[in-house]
């Protein structure tokens, strides 16, 4: 099994009749960086539940063709469904979060704009975040990337939150409710979400709206965490409590 994990992995958008075609970056990486040859064995992931074990049949100028030898259910996909609702922050930090949350085992990522979102950070590129999570699954062994959703406005979050049976909200004005108590009291949750704001935090009105939408306000202790640190820390702890790292 270790052999499979460490096989060189490529991301393909689709597989048709047992044939995979790699173009652009993936083709270039296989040919010019990895310098693989016809008949070499590689793993291909396409964003579904399976790993596809393939043999390279042709390396052309702009395209590599592979034949699928077998497929196997991937066992590194997360078992827990965890969605991160993350305020838009600097693009570099958003990229960092998407890479890390993919490795840690988050399922979904929903960026949002709130009142303190800085204007210049708006309009994050979903395509870029999709590329980052696809690159990240190749490294960490998942076959399904984190689903990157379109950016929403915080005021439209309520109907989305209603699908989750536990919603954790990192609230720096919260003084009394620690994260461990909320996790302990909701250990049967199956579809979990956490919400992290931008550097400026939330307005009082937004805090009330989130709590009214069913989000459980928690404190993360006495140190003030950067937005990206809070996000990575919360994903780590929630997935740990839900036995994702055993």
Nearer to its own copies, 18 or 245 (CB): 245
- Which segments of the chain does DSSP mark as H helices, in order? 2-5, 24-28, 91-104, 126-140, 158-161, 179-185, 204-212, 227-241
Residues 174-193 that bind its own copies (CB under 8 A): 178-180
Binding mask 97-116 for its own copies (x = CB under 8 A): ---x--xxx-----------
Q: Of 5, 34, 38, 184, which lies in the binding site for its own copies, with binding defined by CB under 8 A? A: 5
Q: With respect to its own copies, which residue has the nearer C-beta, 160 or 179?
A: 179
Judged by CB under 8 A, does residue 60 bind its own copies? no
Q: Does 118 contact its own copies by CB under 8 A?
A: no
Per CB under 8 A, which of residues 135..174 are in contact with its own copies? 139-142
Closest alpha carbon to 209 in 146, 147, 157, 139: 157
- 35 vs 223, beta carbon nearer its own copies: 223
Alpha carbon 236 to its chain's center: 12
Cβ of residue 7: shortest distance to its own copies, in angstroms? 12
Q: How far is CA 41 from the centre of its chain?
A: 28
Q: Which stretch binds its own copies (CB under 8 A): 38-46, 70-78, 155-163, 203-211?
A: 70-78
Contact region for its own copies (CB under 8 A) — 10-18, 23-31, 208-216, 224-232? 224-232
Do the beta carbons of residue 145 and residue 105 sit within 8 Å?
A: no
Q: Pick the closer one to its own copies by CB: 44 or 220.
A: 220
Closest of 127, 143, 43, 101 to residue 227, by C-alpha? 101
Nearer to its own copies, 26 or 228 (CB): 228
Q: Minimal distance in Å, beta carbon 140 to its own copies?
A: 4
* DSSP code per residue over 58-102: EE-SSEEEEEEEEEEE-S-S-SSEEEEEEE---HHHHHHHHHHHH
Token reading at 123: 């309009």
C-beta of residue 132 within 8 angstroms of C-beta of residue 107? no
> Does residue 223 touch its own copies according to CB under 8 A?
yes
In whole angstroms, give the CA distance from residue 56 to residue 59: 8
Distance CA 112, CA 136 (A): 22
- Considering beta carbons, is residue 160 or 227 the nearer one to its own copies? 227
Q: Which stretch binds its own copies (CB under 8 A): 61-69, 72-80, 154-162, 184-192?
A: 72-80
Q: Contact positions toward its own copies, by CB under 8 A?
A: 5, 75-76, 78, 96, 100, 103-105, 139-142, 178-180, 219-226, 229, 232-233, 236-237, 240, 243-246
């Amino acid at each position: 099994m270790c052999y499979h994990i460490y096989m060189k992995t490529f991301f393909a958008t689709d597989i048709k009749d047992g044939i995979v075609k790699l173009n652009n970056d993936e083709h270039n990486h296989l040919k010019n960086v990895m310098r693989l040859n016809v008949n070499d064995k590689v793993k291909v992931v396409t964003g579904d539940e399976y790993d596809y074990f393939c043999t390279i049949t042709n390396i052309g100028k702009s395209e590599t063709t592979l034949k699928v030898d077998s497929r196997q259910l991937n066992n590194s996909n997360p078992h827990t469904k965890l969605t991160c609702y993350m305020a838009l922050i600097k693009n570099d930090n958003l990229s960092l979060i998407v890479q890390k949350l993919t490795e840690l085992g988050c399922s979904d990522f929903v960026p949002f704009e709130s009142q303190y979102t800085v204007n210049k950070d708006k309009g994050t590129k979903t395509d870029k975040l999709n590329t980052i999570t696809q690159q990240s699954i190749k490294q960490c062994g998942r076959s399904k990337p984190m689903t990157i959703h379109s950016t929403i406005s915080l005021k439209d979050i309520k109907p989305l939150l209603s699908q989750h049976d536990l919603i954790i909200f990192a609230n720096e004005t919260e003084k009394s409710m620690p994260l461990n108590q909320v996790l302990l009291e909701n250990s049967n949750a199956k579809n979990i979400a956490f919400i992290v704001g931008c550097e400026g935090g939330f307005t009082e009105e937004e805090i009330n709206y989130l709590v009214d939408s069913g989000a459980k306000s928690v404190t993360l202790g006495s140190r003030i965490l950067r937005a990206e640190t809070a996000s990575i820390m919360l994903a780590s702890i929630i997935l740990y409590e839900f036995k994702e790292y055993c």
